[in-house]
Amino acid sequence: MKNQRCNTELLKKIAQRIKQLREERKVSQDTFFIDTDIHIARIEIGKTNITVSTLDAICKYFSITLADFFSTIE
């Protein structure tokens, strides 16, 4: 089995964007977990290589599209 690709800089930017969305909406990590069953604390550290499906679920929770999510990431 091949090693999974991991772009640490991109992961950090995604983690920062997720944390920004969560804090703007005043949602705690515990509330987010209860609502979605996703451990966002692990993701916000920026070391977890999340799937596109998980990111899609996060975006849906915050009522934004994937395009909107990535529009602010440089």
pLDDT digits (tens, 9 = 90+) for 11-24: 999 999 999 999 99
Structure tokens of 55?
Answer: 């990111």
pLDDT above 70 for 1: no
Confidence of residue 9 (pLDDT cuts 50, 70, 90): very high
For 8-67, CATH gives 1.10.260.40
Residue type at 43?
I
Secondary structure (H, E, C), 18-69: HHHHHHHCCCCHHHHHHHHCCCHHHHHCCCCCCCHHHHHHHHHHCCCCHHHH
Backbone angles phi, psi at 62, to 5 degrees: -90, 5
Q: How confident is the model at residue 57 (pLDDT cuts 50, 70, 90)?
A: very high
Give 40-55 pLDDT, tens digit per residue. Answer: 999 999 988 899 999 9
